[in-house]
Structure 1
Amino acid sequence: MKKLVIATRRSKLALWQSEFIKEELQKHYPDMEITLQEFVTKGDKILDVPLAKIGGKGLFTKELEVAMLEGSAHLAVHSLKDVPTQFEDGLQLTAVSKRYDPRDALLSDKYETIADLPKGAVIGTTSLRRRMALKLLRPDIILKDLRGNINTRIAKLNAGEYDAIILAATGVQKLGIENEVKYFTPIETDVMIPSMGQATLGIETTTDPKIVELISVLNDKDAHIESTIERSFVDTLQGGCQVPIGVKATILDENKIRVQAIVGMPDGSESICEDVTANINDYELVGKTLALSFIDQGAKELLERAEKVAFK
C-alpha cells in the first residue's frame, strides 16, 4: 500500500493522538503517505446530557467505524477506554500503544488533594466510576455534571463553576496544560481505580490482512497484556463504557501481574472491590476469572441497579 488514512475526532486530544500514531507509523513506513480524516461523533455533538443516559457504547467511535467499513479510512485511533469490547463485523482492535500515566487526576485552583476539599465542595465529573469512587472517599461532597473537551472543562473550573474537577491525567499531560490550573494532582490507583484501557491508545482497523499486518507493528506487549485483562473483565461483566466499573492491571515483574477492580453504585452506597496478584502467563484468563468472582458476589445485579438509578 502507498497510502493510509487515519479516521479521527476533531478534539485537540484526538488530533494529538492521531498525529502521534501517524508519526509512529511514519518511522516504520517512511515512504508511505499517511493522512488524517476528521469526524464529529455523536459523543462530541451531545454536550448537555450525561453519556450514560444516551448509551455509552460507541458514542465516540461509530462515525469512524463507518468510514473504515465504507473504505474511506483504513484505521482509527481511540482512547482505549472509549472502545467497546465487542466490534462490528469486519472490524477489530489491531494494536494498543505503550501506556502513559493511567491515573485520574484532581484539578483545582484552590485545593491540592481530595482530602483538602472542604465539606460540601462541588466536584465536576459525569463519569459514574469517578462518582462512585469520590462518594466512597468523601460522602459529603457535591457532584456536578461536567461535559465538553478537556480545554472546555478546565475553562469551566477556572470560571469558578466547580471547586475541583476530575480528568484522566494522561489527557492533560499530552496537551501540556497542567499549568492552566494551580493544582494538578494525579490520584493513586489505590484511591481511585481507573477505567479499562485508560492512558492507552487503541488502533482499530478492518480485518483486511494487509492493513492488520501494517498496523500490528504498533502493538506494545505490556499494554497488550494489561488491556487484555481489563477488557476481558468488563466484557465478562457486560458492563460497557459508562457504568461504574474500575479495573487496572499492572505488570509487577516478568512473572506477576496485579489487578485492581471495583464495581458499585454511583452514590458509593454499595461496592465490590478486589485486589489480586496473578501469574502473567495466565493473562488471557485472568480478567474473565476475576469477573466471574465478582458475578458470584452479585456484581451483575449491582450494575443493573446502578444503570437504573444513574442520573435520574
Structure 2
Amino acid sequence: MLIRIATRRSRLAVIQTDLVIKKLKNFFPHINCEIVPVITTGDRITDKNLYDIGGKALFLKELEEKLLTGEVDLAIHSLKDVPGILPVGLEIAAVLEREDPRDCLVSYKYKSLNELPNGAIIGTSSVRRKVILQKIRPDLKIIPCRGNIQTRLDKLSSDNAPDAIILACGGLKRLGIFDEKHCFPLTVDTMIPSAGQGTIAIEKRSDDQKMADICKEINHLPSWYLSQAEREFLVYFDASCKTPIAAHAEYIDESIIKARYMYGDFEGNCLEFHTETGDKICGKEIAIKAAEIIEAKKY
C-alpha cells in the first residue's frame, strides 16, 4: 500500500514528516510512503507580515488543495499553523507526541527578558508574542522577523542584528540546534504558547476511512486531548492572524488538565486571560467555557 504525504519543503517540515513516516512504519511495516514536497504561498512570500497577506493558513493552502483533489492522502503540519476552522472536507486525524511547547528567547548577548537593556530590539512577527512582550516590557522595540528558523537565527549575526529573537522551542529541538548557551525557554506563565505549539498534526480528507483507521493507530492520545483543549478556543473565536490569541494545556495529573488562555486586540491594549481545569476528555468544553468567560469580559 502506498501513502502519498504532502509536506512543505523546509528542513523542519521534512524532519516532521519523517517522524510521521517512522511512526507509520512501526505500526504498518508493509506500507510504502511517498513524500510530496510543496512550496506554499507562506514560504514564497517572506518580506511581508503574515497578518498582511492572509495569515498562517498560507502555509497550508497548497497542501490542502492536493488533499482535496486526491493528489495526496495525508498532509503534515505544525499544529500551531493550522487555523481552528478547516476547509470543508478536511480534518485533523492524528497528532504525534508533543515536543516542548514553550517559546524561547534566543540571544547571543543576554540570557533572559529581564537582562535585556532598556530599548532593546527583539525580533518576532507573531502578534501574540508581540503583545505579550509589550505587556511585560513596554520599553522594548519589536521588529518583524520572518523566514525559516535558520534564516531568523542568521539575523542575530547580521549587520544591525536585533538583541534577541523569539522562536518555538519545539522547532529548535527537532532540528537539533537548541543551544543552552543561547536559547532560553520562557515559562508558560510568562508567555502563553500558541495553540498546538510543539505538536505535529496529520490532516486527511474527512471521507477517507482507510486513512482514518491508519491514523487512529499512531495518534498520541495524551497530546490529542491537550490539542482539543487548545484548538477549540481558536474555533470559538475564529480568530484571524491579526488577533493575539494563545492557548496552552498541560496535565496536572493523569486525567486532569490545566489550560491557560489569552485573547486580545491587535494593538495589545486589551488582553484578557483565563485559566480552567477539567478532565482531559472534556477539552472542548473547557475551551468553550474559557472563551465564553473571556468574551463576557470584553463587553
Same fold by TM-score greater than 0.5:
yes
**Residue by residue, what CA displacement relative to the aligned partner does 1:134-192 show, whole Å, maximum 9, x if unpaired?**
0111000000000000000000112252100000011011111123x841001000000
Counterpart Cα distance in 2 of 1:255 and 1:141: 40
Give yes or no for contact 1:230–1:287 (8 Å, CA) kept in 2.
yes
- Note the C-alpha offset of 1:277: 2.1
2:5 alignment counterpart: 6
2:187 matches 1:188: yes
Superposed CA RMSD in Å reads 1.5
- Note the C-alpha offset of 1:198: 0.4
**Residue by residue, what CA displacement relative to the aligned partner does 1:194-243 show, whole Å, maximum 9, x if unpaired?**
00000011100112111111122121111111111111111111214552
Give yes or no for contact 2:226–2:280 (8 Å, CA) kept in 1.
no
Counterpart Cα distance in 1 of 2:103 and 2:153: 15
**Residue by residue, what CA displacement relative to the aligned partner does 1:5-53 show, whole Å, maximum 9, x if unpaired?**
1100001111110111111111111121111010000100111110011
2:93 alignment counterpart: 94
2:254 matches 1:274: no
**Residue by residue, what CA displacement relative to the aligned partner does 1:86-131 show, whole Å, maximum 9, x if unpaired?**
2222211100111110000000000000000000100000100000
1:236 alignment counterpart: 236
**So what's the TM-score if we normalise by structure 2?**
0.95
**Residue identity matched to 2:106:** L
Q: Which aligned pairs between 1:252-267 and structure 2 lie closer than 5 A?
A: 252-267=252-267
**Residue identity matched to 1:249:** A
Aligned residues: 297
2:170 matches 1:167: no
Give yes or no for contact 2:277–2:286 (8 Å, CA) kept in 1.
no
> What secondary structure is seen at the aligned counterpart in 2 of 1:73?
coil
**Residue identity matched to 2:125:** T
Relative to structure 1, the CA distance from residue 71 to residue 281 in structure 2 (aligned partners, 3 Å threshold; closer, same or farther) is closer
1:310 alignment counterpart: none
**Residue identity matched to 2:96:** S
1:24 alignment counterpart: 23
- Note the C-alpha offset of 1:266: 4.5
- Note the C-alpha offset of 1:284: 2.9
1:220 alignment counterpart: 220
**Residue identity matched to 2:153:** I
**So what's the TM-score if we normalise by structure 1?**
0.91
1:176 alignment counterpart: 176
**Residue identity matched to 2:85:** Q
1:305 alignment counterpart: none
**Residue identity matched to 1:224:** W
Percent of paired sites with the same residue: 38
Counterpart Cα distance in 2 of 1:291 and 1:37: 37
Counterpart Cα distance in 1 of 2:240 and 2:253: 30
Counterpart Cα distance in 2 of 1:6 and 1:196: 24
Counterpart Cα distance in 2 of 1:286 and 1:80: 19
**Residue identity matched to 1:271:** L
Runs of 4+ displaced beyond 4 Å: none
**Residue identity matched to 2:197:** Q
Counterpart Cα distance in 2 of 1:235 and 1:218: 24
1:288 alignment counterpart: 288
* Greater displacement, 220-229 / 137-146: 220-229
Relative to structure 1, the CA distance from residue 87 to residue 264 in structure 2 (aligned partners, 3 Å threshold; closer, same or farther) is closer
> What secondary structure is seen at the aligned counterpart in 1 of 2:236?
helix
> What secondary structure is seen at the aligned counterpart in 1 of 2:114?
helix
Give yes or no for contact 2:194–2:245 (8 Å, CA) kept in 1.
yes
Counterpart Cα distance in 2 of 1:18 and 1:279: 31
1:69 alignment counterpart: 68
Runs of 5+ consecutive residues of structure 1 not aligned to the other structure: 302-312
